[in-house]
Amino acid sequence: MPTPLGDELERERARRTQATSDARAGEPARLGWLESAVDFLEANEAELDRALQALDTAAAGLRASTRREDQLSRRLATANVVAATAQQQLDAERAWVARQVALVEASQSWRLGHRLVRTLRALTLRRDGSTDALTVIVRQLGDGGQSFTGE
């Protein structure tokens, strides 16, 4: 006499056998699809390799350009610091010269010497320069030194 548990077991075996048979029947179709996918990937492998190589080359070029740009930025920053320092030194020297010229111009010996030169020029009938060297220097320092450079 068959038992309900035995009947259930038989039905499960039959169902699994049927599923296995169905799976085996569908295998060629699945295998065909897998084979076509593999063929497609193999056919495009060379093209993908070329694309990857081109991307690697572009990335290497970009890294080299970035390094070059960084080097140029550092050089420019250094040049700016040097230029600022040079400008500060030039301004300090220009101020020192202006102070020295003002001291000389204010001195009594300069005034006496300048009067003597102007008198001698008049006695020898030579034309007077009408401006003394210290006045020219003060004027040129006053315009930022552009008269010195011709700008």
Q: How far apart are the C-alpha atoms of 151 and 93, rounded to whole Å?
A: 19
The residue that leads in pLDDT, 138 or 55, is 55
Per residue in 61-101, pLDDT (tens digit) is: 999 999 999 999 999 999 999 999 999 999 898 888 888 88
The phi and psi torsions of 23 (rounded to 5 degrees) equal -65, -40
> What pLDDT, on the 0 to 100 scale, is given for residue 150?
46
The residue that leads in pLDDT, 102 or 69, is 69
pLDDT > 90: percent of the chain: 23
Packing angle of the helix pair 108-123, 4-106 (nearest 10 deg):
60
pLDDT tier at 6 (50, 70, 90 boundaries)? low
Domain ranges of the chain: 1-85
Closest CA to 113 of 134, 138, 142: 134
> What pLDDT, on the 0 to 100 scale, is given for residue 83?
94
> What pLDDT, on the 0 to 100 scale, is given for residue 25?
60
pLDDT tier at 142 (50, 70, 90 boundaries)? confident
Please state the rounded mean pLDDT for residues 114-122.
Answer: 81
The residue that leads in pLDDT, 66 or 16, is 66
How far is the CA of 133 from the CAs of 100, 103, 120, 142, 144, in angstroms?
13, 14, 17, 14, 17
> What pLDDT, on the 0 to 100 scale, is given for residue 44?
75
Burial, 58: exposed, middle or buried (Cβ in 10 Å; 0-12, 13-18, 19+)?
exposed
Q: Cα-Cα-Cα-Cα dihedral of 8, 14, 16, 19, to 10°?
A: -140
CA 121 to chain centre: 63
Residue the block writes with tokens 């001698």 = 120
